[in-house]
Amino acid sequence: MHEKKILFLRLMIVYLLWTAAGVLGGSFLYLYFKNAGVGLVELLASFLFWMIAPLIVIELLNKKKIDLRILLILGVAAQAASYSLVALLEPSAPLLFLCSFLLGTTSFIFWVPFNTMFFELGDGRQAFFGSVYFSVNPVLSVVLPLFGALLSFLFGMPAIFLCAALFSVCLLLTASLAIKGREAGFALRKCLDELKGFKTMIFLEGIYGGGVTASIAVVSVYYFSSAPDLGMFLSVTTLFSVLASIVISKISDASRKRKMYIMVFGSALGIVTIAGSFAYGALAWSALVSARNFIAALFYPFTTAIIMDNKRHVGWSMVGREWLLNWGRVIGILIALAGAIFLPDAQKALLVFGLVMIAYPMMIELKKRHIRVE
């Protein structure tokens, strides 16, 4: 038990540094390129490079023995390289595509090793672990956008990305010392078989997550076109989600009523996302994004918890989950792109993503022969 606590603390330090770099750099990435003249369609298209990258990595590593520690360190190095390039080179669409691809590789080479080690420690507390996992980003998202806005005011926007790169370098040293080597391997077919009953749900989660992430990130920089305005928006919209996530997950771990929570929060998330397609103006947009982020913080811990409850192999499940999520994200971003090109405005695509999320809880009933969700 003592060793598990030490490993948990080490992983949390790694996670905090990783998330700090990602939140600080990612919060202002699209505003920086938009203000440099990169267009709406190009901003959305950059997300495709992000989501395709891990699919390529998975294919390259399929059926090969890999050291999880080395893989995680390579992910940190890719993040450091990406933000360094943004800080040092002139902003352009090709640079955004390159950096998005580098950051996209980390979806596998950082997250799969980290998720495997982190959720193996759950042991009956999967939703609580999930709530801790999903709460770190919102907590830092309250503080770091304001810090980034201050950096931008004092030194210019490249300083934000240089600081994010420095966080990543510190993380590189921390991860090298804190995590022991551990060899693992995977066969993609077995990883997907491990997720029997969950594949459609994960794919829908990917469509929703990829499309909504891209849509909100890009639409927001048009409502808030300066670093201080965007920083305040990002801080305010994540302010109330953390405490609710931790409280509800503790209740769920005690009661195991995952199904009820997924039904309620999944449906609510879909409805508020649909409402976001009609939320015009900075104030209305802020209110809807705040509500969406709040409900999302309540919902997402259970998407991982229900997989772990079914006693699936953690490492294989995480590989298969990442593969399915990213294919779903690609579809979601293509929908967002189509919305930006063919619909009156990019927000209208949120209507589709809301319907996708409403379909997610319904899958539990359709898949109940293969999965157990109480």
Structure tokens at 179: 């995590």
pLDDT tens digits for 65-109?
A: 888 889 999 999 999 999 999 999 999 999 999 999 999 999 889
Terminus-to-terminus CA distance in the chain, angstroms? 28
- By CB atoms closer than 10 A (0-12, 13-18, 19+), residue 270 is buried
Q: Rg (Cα) of the chain, in Å, rounded?
A: 19
Percent of the chain with pLDDT over 70: 90
Structure tokens at 357: 């999320």
- In sequence order, what E strands does 20-129 have? 65-67
pLDDT (0 to 100) of residue 8? 78
244, pLDDT greater than 80: no
Q: Which phi and psi (to 5°) does residue 367 adopt?
A: -105, 10
2-366 CATH fold: Growth Hormone; Chain: A; (1.20.1250)
Number of neighbours of residue 257 by Cβ within 10 angstroms: 14
Structure tokens at 155: 């030194």
Q: How far is CA 313 from CA 17, 54, 108, 117, 270, in A?
A: 27, 20, 17, 12, 30
Q: Higher model confidence: residue 215 or residue 344?
A: 215
- Residues 132, 293, 53, CA angle at the centre, nearest 5°? 75
Average pLDDT over residues 200-205: 93
pLDDT tens digits for 112-153?
A: 888 888 777 755 555 566 666 667 888 888 899 999 999 999
Average pLDDT over residues 151-158: 95
pLDDT tens digits for 293-313?
A: 889 988 887 887 788 777 677
- In sequence order, what E strands does 27-144 have? 65-67
